[in-house]
Structure formats: C-alpha cells, structure tokens
Structure 1
Amino acid sequence: MNERPGRDRSSAGDPVRTLELLWREPGQGARRGPKQRTTVDAVVAAAIRIADADGLDALTMRAVATELGVTPMATYTYVPGKAELLDLMIDAVYLQMPRRDFTGKSWREKVSAIAQDNLAMFDSHPWLTYLPTTRPPLGPGMIAKYDHELSAFDSLGLSDLEMDGALTYVLGFVNSVARIAIDSHRAAADSGQSDGQWWERAGPLLERVLDGDRYPLASRVGTAAGQAFDAAYSASHAYEFGLARVLDGLADLISDR
C-alpha cells in the first residue's frame, strides 16, 4: 500500500461542484433519463474499499468503475473526477465515525476518547493519514466531526480560537503517531522482517561500531528503548506517553481560565 504524500490532497477539485456533491444538492447526484445503475454513495463506498485495500495509488476512476461493474465513462456521471471523489471519501469516513456520549465525562476523558477514535479511523483507513486536509471538505461528515470534537472543549473558559487550536493540537498529535504505526507496518511488510528480526541482524554490528563513551546518551537510552520495545520505536508507547503530555499541556491552558 504505497502512498505518495503530497500528491493528493483534499479540496483540489472545483469547490462548487464538490460542495454540491458533498451535500447531495439536486442536479449532481440525480440525473434524468434511463434508470441509473449506481449512485454517488455506491461510487464513494467502492473508492474507499479500493483505497483501504491498496492505497491511493490504486484509486482511479477506472478501478472504481470495475469495482461497480460499470463503464469508466458512466462513473463520471456521478463524480467529475478523482479530486472530488477524494473529498467525498474523506467526508464519508468522517460521517461514519462514532459520536460518543460525553455526558458526565471530564474534559480529559472526552479528549482521550476523541484521540482514540481518530487513531482507530487512521488504522482502518491508512490512506487518510497521508492525505493533507488543510482545506477540509466542508461536507456533513466533516462538520459533524468538528462540532462533536469541539464539544470536548466547550464550557472550559477557552476562547473560540483556543478551542479550535486545542483540537488541532490533539488531532495533529494523533496523526503523527498513526504515521509511526503505519510506517512500521510497511517497513516490516516491505523487508519481510519484523522489527525484532531486523534488530537481531543489525545489533551485533552496531555494538561493534557504536562508541558508548563518545555517545553515552544515545547508547544508554537507545539500548533501553530497544530492549523495551524490541524496535527503535513503539507506536503504542508513543501514543500513551504523548497523549498524557498533550493532556497535561492543555490542563495548563485550561487552569489559567
């Protein structure tokens, strides 16, 4: 599942046509004439299946058409192209995310739940991890996700900009950890070796060439981490340790209010 970070991004298509599709405005999803063989929702679902299985490089309008059993040209009657399709896919995934009931929960519990739900989303849809969304698809899924996640910071005395910044901070952390996990899995798949097997081969040579007196911290800390994780990195440890620090940082901001 090779991705090419930066090649694809959200909101790269025509904004008006994309918004019409996202909100299923009349004239985009429905056509007059012969009975339609599929729907916009079916096209989006097929595209997500392809991306989940084989990554964005495998996602083409022709591949979607094959998945649906229609001609490539027929697919364009539902979605103008891949740029608009990507926004529809992102929004559909966002719409399917769980919206936990936060009643009676502390802000730490709420933020932790948001982080966990986003991590699970990236695990289920790895292609989303590398798809820039600095111009987010402003569809019903994205709006519902944003509104729900902002509620974790509501009534804490934060300004609107601080609430937006706090959420961006949390989601940025989750995305970075998700990349570590995905990259680790891909490295193992590409090399045919687990992290532990790789270290078994590299370790003896490293012990001979690494001067512990010259690099005392790297030697000591690196050895401790390697022994604990059987790898250079542990995505689960990075997530647990990092989330605690994220929450502590937000606690300082919130306590000031």
Structure 2
Amino acid sequence: MKPGPKRSLSEDAIVGAALKLLGERGGDAMSMRSIASEVGVAPNALYTYFPDKAAVLRAVVDRLIGEQSLDVFTDRGVPWRRRVHEVALGLRTRLLDHPGATRLLLGAPMDGPRALAFGERLLDLLTEAGLSEEDAARASYTLIVYLLGSIALEAAELDPTQPAPPEAERVAERRKGFDAVPAEAFPRTAATASVMAAYISTDQYLWGLDRVLDGLTGRRGRS
C-alpha cells in the first residue's frame, strides 16, 4: 500500500489543530502528542515550531485575539465609545465560539503580533478620546482586564465541546440556581436574583463596560 500524501506542517497548522482539540476535548486533554496526532506527524516534529505546549497555547490566544477586525478602531466617522462597544461585542462573540480556548485567556501572556496590534489600535482610540499617552496605557490594561475577565467567566460556564446555548436559555438556567437560594439567609441575593442570573448577558457586559469607560474618561487631564 502506498503511503498517503505528506501533510504540510506550519505554525498555523499546529495552532489550528490545537484550537480544534480544545473545542473537542478541552484544555486538560490537549498535549503535544495529541496535537501531533491531529496534524499527522511525530510529536518531536512540533518542537521545530514551538518549544513546548505553553508556547502553542500562547499562539492560540494570539489567534483568537486576532480574529477581531482592527478596522473598527480606525473609523473616525463613528464615535469612539461606539467603536469600543463594537470591538467589545465582536471580541465576545468570537471568543465564546471557542469556550475551551477562551478559558486560557487569563493564563497566557498577550504578547503575540496580533495581540500587540490589537493593543496598539486600542491605545490610538483612547488617546483620540482625550487621554494622555500614560493614562491611555493604564486605561487600555484596565479595559482588557474587564473584557477578557468577563468573557472568560462566561466561558467557564459553557461546555467546551458543545455550541453555546442561546443567551436567554443560559440566563434562565442560572435563574433556577438563584431561585433555590434561601431568602431568609441571603435576602439581598434573593431580591436581586434576576440581575445576578443575567451576569452573563450582553446587557450586563455593556453596562459594566460603560461604567469602566465613564471612570476612565472622567480622569482625563488629571495625573
């Protein structure tokens, strides 16, 4: 029997295989050996491109961040705050398409070329909003922590191997849990159960984003 065609190997192919495995099995089941099997090579072939699994995961994070178009940042015909909203919503949609990989976001540095390009455009937008370069840098970090932290917490409630259910279904399921909280022991929690159940909603995500932006731009001109 003739051997099958030799599969091409590249950084992109390896990252794509890792992303596929994260979606099928989750992070705990992914290894250099499983990635190698997915791309049809011996495990030691991967080390030509990545020194270890951590480096692969960093590249996965960079690809996920890079799926967000940077064109939104530069359209000065759109108010800067609306552009932040569009970027934030686009990032959330793309990352929640890969909940298994999104859980890695808070554990891997964002220092790849796509992440750096994203950060640079965000700095441009914040200086356009009136912040000094130093304040824009601090504000950029604060925004990224809020956005990625919110998305990662939302992804943590999803099955990484299954498509995410509609938002309304997920909120309704969370509400069942809050309805079981004894009101006599936790009266404030019980009284705001509908709000807490919707922590994973788009409304909550944008509510928090606007409060962060209000605080950041309120410091404009002050050291």
> Same fold per TM (> 0.5)?
yes
Contact 1:150–1:167, Cα closer than 8 Å, also in 2: yes
Structure-2 residue corresponding to 1:128: 102
Q: Secondary structure at the match of 1:185?
A: coil
Residue by residue over 1:20-54, the C-alpha shift from the partner in whole angstroms, topping out at 9 and shown as x without a partner, is: xxxxxxxxxxxxxxx87322211111111112333
Distance 1:196 1:86, change over 3 A: same
Q: Where does residue 77 of structure 1 map in the other structure?
A: 48
Displacement of 1:241: 2.1
Name which of 62, 66, 79 aligns with 1:95: 66
Match of 2:219 in 1: 253
The alpha carbon displacement at 1:233 in A equals 5.0
Instruction: Tell me the residue number matched to 2:79.
Output: 106
Please name the residue that 1:145 is paired with. Answer: 118
Q: Secondary structure at the match of 1:184?
A: coil
Deviation sequence 1:142-178 (CA, Å, 0-9, x none): 2211122222112344222211111111111112322
- The question of whether the paired residues in 1 share the 8 Å contact of 2:63 and 2:114 is answered with yes
Does 2:64 align with 1:64?
no
Aligned match of 1:39 in 6, 10, 17? 10
Aligned positions of 1:1-257 closer than 5 A: 37-99=8-70, 100=72, 101-126=74-99, 127-132=101-106, 135-137=109-111, 139-185=112-158, 194-199=173-178, 202-203=180-181, 206-207=182-183, 210=184, 218-219=186-187, 221-226=188-193, 228-229=194-195, 232-236=197-201, 237-254=203-220
Q: CA offset at residue 133 of structure 1?
A: 5.9
Structure 2 counterpart of 1:74, which letter?
A
Separation of aligned partners in 2, 1:178 and 1:252: 25
CA offset digits 1:169-203 (Å, max 9, x no partner): 111111232233223335xx9xxx93344455x35
Residue ranges of structure 2 left out of the alignment (5+ in a row): 1-5, 163-171
Contact 1:97 1:121 survives alignment (8 Å):
yes
Q: 1:108 Cα deviation (Å)?
A: 1.2
Aligned length: 203
The two structures have a TM-score, normalised by structure 1, of 0.67
| Bigger radius of gyration | 1
